[in-house]
Amino acid sequence: MKIAIYGQKYCKKNIPYLNQFIGYASSHSIEIYIEKSFFHILSSFGEFKNLDFPIFSHYRELKTKNFNLMFTFGGDGTILSAITLIRDSGIPIIGVNTGNLGFLATFNKNVFIKKIDQIFNKKLHIMPRSLLSLKTSVTNHHNFFNYALNEIVVLRKEMVSMITIDAYIDNEFLTSYWADGLIISTPTGSTGYSLSCGGPIISPENKNFVLTPISPHNLFSRPLIISDHQKVYLKIHSRVKSYSLSMDTRLTSLDQENELYIQKAPFYIYLIQEKKNTYYKTLREKLLWGMDQRN
């Protein structure tokens, strides 16, 4: 078996968890590859100075070397960053939550080591997650990964004034949003930025996307759920010549004549979780449902 390890940062208190994991994998003849930047981060700790594992730094390496699993150490942001390496390779992700909330990174670091046998014996549940795909009418961002697991967000830039976003669904005009921005979210991303802007929570097995305006001026503008088979087309009007575009954790700037074409991606990201840790159990725990002292 061959596994990849990825992270964006690490702190000393989490060293024992990763140490135990690497020790287990090595003793079971599991090939370990560590992402290049994370390897350098780990090497800065005395406990990992003698790490002697091969590294990877590009998605093509993952796709061509037949990896079985990727383990991410961090939070949900780490997983969102990891998909720029996973892409359409089909490699399942196991998120070990060393962060805070963790809707996607469902394996708590405190119990993760106890679950290793289950993980490597494939006694867990694989959840496919849909993504959004983006094409632009003018600018071609060669180095910009144009897929998003959580959401695509259009935002006003460098001004207090709102922007106007003309939205079309399958070439039919929907409405013009006068707002600070617009979120197009997957079911996975429905518990993120969209939720904080009043959007609905959508369980991952639903084949939907949701359009959620950010601070709309026209108060009758409300979140809209559409089928993920439909295509979204956006034209942006602004008092300045550019606007901001966010795709998960990645941010760029586009000229306002650049129109956006958004649809479902042709591949899935696969997340692994315990069978008993259902989506609804995660919601109860992370959103503290039922924890009201009055209950």
Is residue 194 annotated as involved in ligand binding? yes
Residue showing tokens 């994991």: 21
CA 6/CA 18 separation, integer angstroms: 11
- Choose among 268, 274, 264: nearest CA to 90: 268
Is residue 238 annotated as involved in ligand binding? no
Is residue 189 annotated as involved in ligand binding? no
Is residue 81 annotated as involved in ligand binding? no
Question: Do the bridges between strand 151-155 and strand 181-185 make them parallel or antiparallel, or are there none, so unpaired?
Answer: antiparallel
CB 271 within 8 A of CB 147: no
Strands in the chain per DSSP E: 2-7, 31-35, 55-56, 69-74, 93-97, 107-108, 125-129, 132-136, 147-148, 151-155, 163-169, 172-179, 181-185, 208-214, 224-227, 232-237, 242-247, 250-255, 260-264, 269-273
Is residue 268 annotated as involved in ligand binding? no
Is residue 195 annotated as involved in ligand binding? yes
Is residue 44 annotated as involved in ligand binding? no
Judge whether 76 counts as a catalytic residue. Answer: yes
Q: Write down the catalytic residue from 76, 170, 248, 292.
A: 76
Is residue 23 annotated as involved in ligand binding? no
Task: Classify burial at 143, counting beta carbons within 10 Å of its beta carbon; exposed 0-12, middle 13-18, buried 19 or more.
Answer: exposed
Is residue 150 annotated as involved in ligand binding? yes
CA 183/CA 135 separation, integer angstroms: 16
Residue showing tokens 């961090």: 74
Is residue 57 annotated as involved in ligand binding? no
Is residue 181 annotated as involved in ligand binding? no
CA 143/CA 147 separation, integer angstroms: 12
- Choose among 43, 23, 54: nearest CA to 116: 23
**Residues annotated in a binding site for NAD(+):** 76-77, 150-151, 180, 191-196
Residues with catalytic function? 76
